């Protein structure tokens, strides 16, 4: 997907590889797009090599198709090294430049470790945390192509483990309703045919089951879990605790 010029985004989701964001929060992104928000995805690497992919061009085409299914406006690949992704100054700056250019209000990224999966996930978390901070640093313009500083309003994290119900440590948890976009999310994950061939088709059921479980905990048909590192404030306790009975 070609980068949109001079586009400011409401939200950017950051993954280590193409398909990470779709699995973790694709339903939320699709729903936000439907609500009129401008949404972008940043893949830190191209995810290659992998066993069944003919090369980066194939994986990129799958990512483009998935982005169109979700409806996101911008998708960027930073082409950092897959399997050798490490939190370093250059990676932090590369992502911070994206934040300064597109000025998102909210950033979503990895939270915690993904045990028995790619260590790139944890490194992506560290890079994202640092880039959010770097984006707002003044008197350092020479490292950021003189892009103006930008302060991100909030940062939330997502877990990507689908083989257990244990929650990573966080100050709090939020479940986003994706009942209306669960099917769209699954379709976007299916776009990665090289990653999820017939012998790995169980991933689709696993993702759906996890989303239905998280949704159930919050009273939704399906939901996606996010971790927050700030307390969540409310201005009307009754509207939050009993929305059907709150006064307008």
Closest to 28 measured CA to CA, from 160, 170, 142, 177: 177
Query: CA 212, CA 68: separation in Å to the nearest integer?
Result: 24
The domain that contains 35 carries what CATH number? Answer: 3.40.50.10320
Range of the domain at 121: 11-245
- Whether 41 maps to a domain, the answer reads yes
- The CA–CA distances, whole Å, from 154 to 8, 68, 207, 230, 232 equal 16, 26, 26, 9, 11
- Whether 2 maps to a domain, the answer reads no
CA 149 to chain CA mean position, Å = 22
- Which H or E run contains 66? helix 56-70
The answer, yes or no, to whether residue 2 has pLDDT greater than 60, is no
- Whether 4 maps to a domain, the answer reads no
- Whether 174 maps to a domain, the answer reads yes
- Whether 130 maps to a domain, the answer reads yes
Query: CA 156, CA 104: separation in Å to the nearest integer?
Result: 13
Identify whether the C-beta of residue 46 lies closer than 8 Å to the C-beta of residue 18. Answer: yes
- The CA–CA distances, whole Å, from 211 to 115, 162, 186, 190 equal 19, 9, 11, 16
**Residue 104 DSSP symbol:** -
The answer, yes or no, to whether residue 223 has pLDDT greater than 90, is yes
- Whether 3 maps to a domain, the answer reads no
Residue 50, token pair as written in the block: 């992998």
Identify whether the C-beta of residue 107 lies closer than 8 Å to the C-beta of residue 14. Answer: yes
Domain count, the chain: 1
Residue 102, token pair as written in the block: 């597109």
Identify whether the C-beta of residue 108 lies closer than 8 Å to the C-beta of residue 157. Answer: yes
Total H helices, total E strands in the chain: 7, 7
- Whether 1 maps to a domain, the answer reads no
- Whether 116 maps to a domain, the answer reads yes
Taking only the tens place, the pLDDT of each residue in 69-125 is: 999 999 999 999 999 999 999 999 999 999 999 999 999 999 988 888 899 999 999
Residue 230's pLDDT is: 86
Q: What is the mean pLDDT of residues 199-220?
A: 94
Closest to 225 measured CA to CA, from 126, 156, 155, 143: 156
Q: Which residue has the tokens 């964001």?
A: 21
Query: CA 166, CA 227: separation in Å to the nearest integer?
Result: 13
Taking only the tens place, the pLDDT of each residue in 10-59 is: 999 999 999 999 999 999 999 999 999 999 999 999 999 999 899 999 99
Phi and psi angles of residue 193, each rounded to the nearest 5 degrees, phi first: -65, -30
Residue 118's pLDDT is: 93
Residue 69, token pair as written in the block: 């299914």
Identify whether the C-beta of residue 121 lies closer than 8 Å to the C-beta of residue 86. Answer: no
Burial 178-196 (b: 16+ CB within 10 A, else e): beebbebbbbbbbbbebbb
Query: CA 107, CA 14: separation in Å to the nearest integer?
Result: 8
């Amino acid at each position: 997907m070609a980068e949109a010029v001079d586009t400011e985004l409401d939200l950017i989701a950051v993954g280590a590889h193409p398909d990470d964001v779709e699995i973790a929060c694709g339903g939320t992104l699709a729903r936000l797009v439907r609500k009129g928000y401008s949404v972008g995805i940043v893949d830190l690497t191209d995810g290659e090599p992998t066993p069944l992919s003919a090369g980066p061009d194939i994986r990129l085409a799958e990512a483009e198709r998935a982005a169109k299914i979700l409806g996101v406006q911008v998708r960027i690949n930073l082409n950092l090294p897959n399997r050798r992704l490490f939190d370093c100054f250059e990676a932090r700056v590369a992502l911070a430049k994206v934040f300064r250019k597109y000025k998102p209000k909210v950033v979503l990224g990895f939270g915690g470790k993904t045990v028995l999966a790619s260590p790139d996930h944890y490194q992506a978390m560290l890079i994202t945390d640092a880039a959010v901070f770097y984006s707002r640093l003044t008197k350092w313009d020479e490292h950021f192509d003189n892009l103006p500083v930008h302060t991100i309003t909030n940062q939330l994290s997502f877990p990507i483990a689908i083989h257990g119900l244990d929650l990573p440590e966080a100050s709090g948890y939020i479940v986003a309703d994706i009942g209306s976009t669960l099917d769209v999310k699954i379709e976007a994950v299916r776009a990665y045919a090289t990653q999820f061939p017939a012998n790995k088709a169980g991933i689709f059921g696993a993702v759906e089951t996890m989303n239905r479980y998280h949704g159930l905990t919050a009273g939704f048909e399906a939901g996606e879990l996010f971790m927050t590192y700030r307390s969540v404030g409310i201005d009307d306790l009754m509207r939050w605790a009993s929305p059907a009975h709150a006064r307008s």
